Amino acid sequence: MNLNLDAKKAMTYDAIVVGSGISGGWAAKELTQKGLKVLMLERGPDLKHVTDYTTAMKDPWEFPHRGKVELWAAEEYWANARSGGKPGEDQRHMFTKDVDVPYIEKRPYDWIRAYHLGGRSLVWGRQSYRLNERDFTANLEDGHGADWPIRYKDLAPWYSYVEKFAGISGNRDGLAVLPDGEFVPPMQMNSIERLAKAGIEKNFKGRHLVIGRPAIISEAQKIHTDLGRASCQFRNLCVRGCPFGAYFSTQSATLPAAVKTGNLTVITDKIAYEVIFDDQKNKAVGVRVIDQNTKQHQEYFAKIIFLNASTMNTAWIMMQSTSKRFPNGLGNDSDQLGRNLMDHHLGAGASGEFEGLQDMYYYGRRGNGIYIPRFANWGDDKRKDFVRGFGYQGRGGRQDWVAGASKDGFGPAFKDNLTKPGRWEFNIGGFGETLPDPNNRMRLSGQKDKWGLPIIEFDAGWGENTVGMRKAMMNDAAEMLEAAGLKNVKTRNDNTKNPGIGIHEMGAARMGRDPKTSVLNAWNQVWGASNVFVTDGAAMPSSSCVNPSLTYMALTARAASHAVSELKRMNL
Amino acid sequence: MNRREAILQVALTMGSALSAPTMASILEGYQPHRVGGHKPSPFVLGADEQALLAEIAEVIMPATDTPGAKEAGVAATIQLIMKDCYKPAQQAHFQKGLLAVDTESKKTYSKPFVDLSIEQKTAILTQFEQDAKAEAKQHPKRQEKPQATNTETSLSAFAPAGSEQTQAKEVDAETGVVVKDARKNAPLTPFFTLVKELTILGYFSSEAGCTKALAYVPIPGRYEGVVKLKDGQKAWAT
């Protein structure tokens, strides 16, 4: 026997999935359930469902700093620190220490990472919306970016498929702008949200306020309980990891489903940095990794490879994957690899107060808010200052003790006042679409990280189109709140945030119809390396204004189905 | 129903998903993993300063029909937060403010703050609250309320006003390294503003604050959007 051949055989699988976040988890689940032997590679450490959610059951007083971030943590998690309390003791173990994995900002960029098994599926915002029909034709209509190679009808059945499994809570609202899906029961709105809904819908034709659609099982179905998932307990502590498995994550959902097949191998702590492209066979044959602890290099082999390392790292791997055929990076004949970075711009909106409804309250903590779907540049609502549109996320509630610091006074009456429910408040903030622009890009810098791998350099901005859109996001918000009867309406338009802050990185390896202008085809296959699939945010040709993760799930399930049927036809 | 009972009850509905050992491990508290190596701050308050801080906190959040700041251990929490979450300049400013309270007490009433009557203590702190406002007016930028957050990006349970985490880090565009001295000359939060904020935070996030002054339900189990407020009902702790 040839020992080398044996060794190689031990490292050979039917498929390799690089990354274990939302899309990687889906790739592993779909491919293993279709009978393929799958290797899932994760660059970070293992993070076990339930037992590694070490802060999940802690009470507020068990955190010595009570939500305040220690200085050392703010420095070591310097990028995370730009996005709120992520370096805090309640949740920093769910994020990545930025000093260990630096990046370079030619222009400022907020890159929030979670390098461990499950990736950002453990800490995502969970809002799950379908793109609508016009999202898929937007690039064609206004000429920004490359046309999507698929349309809504191509993805609709896959949306249904992933929604049923993931468990999306929502109401069937019947709006073309926000297509309905396969929902578990919607969560309730509270009194101020109902008031805002009535006021906005009465005063503005074409504007709607609906309950948010999170990937949280409000009522667990058999498909969920079979995997050990339970209904939401309404603690609103999702970011610490859910010991009930109520929100969708790799750990709660796709991983147990994949493990059940007996076809999955998971290897953590391996940083995949290159797809091995065989110039003789004219296809990819495997991936190269380095162990993050031992720094040992290793090769794994497979018939098909799914890159689900998250937008930036997927492009980063492809850029390092050079060969005779692809001297500028895998699938990069078009020079579009690493370009067209998109995100959602936010931080513009309004808040208001309401004096009435003093006898109303609510029970429980809802890890979900309300949603106002896009209305600008939709139907009759034409805007001159910008193309495309924005939606709002928001919520209402009664003021609590947190407001005390900005109130005058102290002492017994002051304290007593803070123990009672305060005034109602209602707040909405826009999430705006950004345009694909080839000048918004990431590159491999000349600098190396501690594994000798190239450090990413960001060179991206929000773009001119966001300027007018942000004004509308702010003014339209105030107009709606005032029309709904809210008082003391305050507007905001915080321009200090950098691209990436939406944590919706998209683009970098877009799908398209033409290999000259895109990196992937209509089935998420890399042009010229059709046994490599990219189904994370990198694949997005446009950003829509809705939260993108549900679309990654649908694209992944669709691509995995195609990959397996092509394998059977011996086309890969 | 305590937390253990509550989670066990939920676990029963989940079948085997949460095994007994699993339950035990998450109930027995946590071992923070991946803790970084870092130099602790030398900030420390003397015994007199601690007593003074405890007294100030008690005046802000006094014992009424519910426990006060002293019983809730607020002074120790403030000291820890000051030590770990604030920079040396802010720490010094805080300590200076603390001493100024005593100096003012002695000047006005010829007694240290801790020995004053509640009326006298209130008068002194009322003066400090006015002074803090005047101090803040000189630096209006510092006093801006942090951005209202939204469901998508606000993953934190709470991020109190003016906390360090609401400030953007300034970063060197070439290296990605945080520019540590960028805010060296930033105006400092006035003493009273900070001690009041931290007292409120420390109190209402304490066990006494959550469970006695407020209504704390660790595992609500459901969400009802429209509930009639009962007479005398307390606000939810979280």
Q: What is the pLDDT of residues B158-198, one digit of tens each?
A: 333 333 333 344 444 434 444 444 444 568 999 999 999 99
Beta-strand relationship, A104-105 and A454-459:
parallel
* Cα–Cα–Cα angle for A439, A443, A444, rounded to 5 degrees: 170
- Which of residues 520 through 559 in chain A touch B, CB cutoff 8 A? 547
Categorize the per-residue pLDDT at B205 as very low, low, confident or very high, splitting at 50, 70 and 90: very high
In this structure, what are the phi and psi dihedrals at residue B215, rounded to the nearest 5 degrees?
-110, 115
A9 vs B141 pLDDT, higher one = A9
Closest residue to A410, CB basis, from B26, B59, B80: B59
Going by the DSSP 8-state scheme, the letter that residue A183 receives in this structure is E
* Whole-number Å distance between alpha carbons of B146 and B136: 15
Alpha-carbon span A469 to A386, nearest angstrom: 6
More confident residue, A196 or B143: A196
The answer, for A377 touching chain B at a CB cutoff of 8 Å, is no
Could you tell me where the beta strands, DSSP code E, fall in A170-263? 183-184, 210-211
Q: Residue B32: pLDDT band by 50, 70, 90 thresholds?
A: very low
Q: What is the mean pLDDT of chain B?
A: 78
Q: What is the pLDDT of residue B138?
A: 82
Q: Which residues contact residue A453 at a Cβ distance below 8 angstroms, ignoring those fewer than 6 apart?
A: A271, A273, A290, A320
Q: Do B228 and A360 touch (CB under 8 A)?
A: yes
C-alpha B167/C-alpha B18 separation (Å) is 39
Write the DSSP symbol of residue A393.
E
Q: What is the DSSP string of A162-174?
A: HHHHHTEE-----
Q: What is the DSSP letter of A269?
A: S
B66: contact with A, CB 8 A cutoff: yes
pLDDT for residue B10: 55
pLDDT digits (tens, 9 = 90+) for A487-516: 999 999 999 999 999 999 999 999 999 999
CB contact under 8 A, B210 and A60: yes
Q: In this complex, do B222 and A364 lie within 8 Å of one another by their Cβ atoms?
A: yes
Check A234 against B166: CB less than 8 A apart: no
The pair of structure tokens assigned to A8 is 């190689």
pLDDT at B145: 39
> Does B46 have pLDDT greater than 60?
yes
Which residue is it, tokens 């990687």?
Answer: A24
Are B156 and A88 an interchain contact pair (Cβ–Cβ within 8 Å)? yes
Q: What is the pLDDT of residue A264?
A: 98
CB contact under 8 A, A401 and B221: no
Distance CA A538, CA A516 (A): 17
- A396/chain B closest Cα distance in angstroms: 10
**What confidence score (pLDDT) does residue A206 get?**
95
| Predicted local confidence at residue B184, as pLDDT | 47
- Which is nearest to A365 in space by CA: B57, B125, B216? B216
pLDDT exceeds 70 at position B153: no
Of A167, A186, A159, which is closest to residue A228 (Cα–Cα)?
A167
pLDDT of res. B176: 41
Cβ atoms of B189 and B90 within 8 Å: the answer is: yes
CB A51 within 8 A of CB B26: yes
Provide the chain A residues 410-469 that lie in CB contact (below 8 A) with chain B. 410-412, 414-416, 418-422, 427-429, 431
Q: The dihedral of CA A91, A92, A93, A95: what is its sign?
A: positive
**Residue B235 and residue A420 in contact, taking contact as beta carbons nearer than 8 Å:** yes
The DSSP 8-state label assigned to residue A254 in this structure reads I
List Cα–Cα distances, A270 to A251, A266, A297, B96, in angstroms.
18, 10, 9, 51
Q: Which residues contact A26 (CB under 8 A, 6 or more apart)?
A: A162, A254, A535, A552, A553, A556, A557, A560
| pTM, rounded to two decimals | 0.91
Between CA A390 and CA A161 the distance in angstroms is 26
Could you tell me if B70 lies within 8 Å of chain A, comparing CB atoms? no
Give alpha helix (H) positions in B61-148.
Answer: 74-85, 88-109, 118-137
Please determine, for residue B19, whether its predicted confidence score (pLDDT) is greater than 50.
no
Residue A274 pairs in a beta bridge with A288
Percent of chain B past pLDDT 90, that is, above it, reads 61
Strands A297-307 and A529-534, sheet pairing? parallel
Give Cα A565 distance to the centre of its chain: 28
Superfamily of domain covering A13-66+106-126+248-341+505-568: FAD/NAD(P)-binding domain (3.50.50.60)
The answer to whether the CB of A318 falls within 8 A of the CB of A275 is: yes
d(CA B238, CA B219): 11
Q: Closest residue of B to A369, CA-based? A: B151
- Interface membership of B166 toward A (CB under 8 Å): yes
Residue numbers of chain A with a pLDDT score lower than 70: 1-3
Residue A524 C-alpha, separation from nearest chain B C-alpha, in angstroms: 27
Q: Is A151 exposed, middle or buried (0-12, 13-18, 19+ CB in 10 A)?
A: middle
This complex has an ipTM of 0.94
Q: Does A262 touch chain B (CB under 8 A)?
A: no
Contact call for A415 and B164, based on CB within 8 A? no
Reported as type and span, the H/E element at residue A266 is: strand A264-267
Question: Would you say residue B214 has pLDDT above 60?
Answer: yes
**CA-to-CA distance for A241 and A121, rounded, in angstroms?**
10
Confidence grade of residue B4 (pLDDT, cut at 50, 70, 90):
low
| B16 interfacial to chain A (CB closer than 8 Å) | yes
Q: What are phi and psi of A467, to 5 degrees?
A: -65, -55
Domain ranges of chain A: 13-66+106-126+248-341+505-568, 168-236+345-432+462-493
pLDDT-based confidence at B99, cuts 50/70/90?
very high
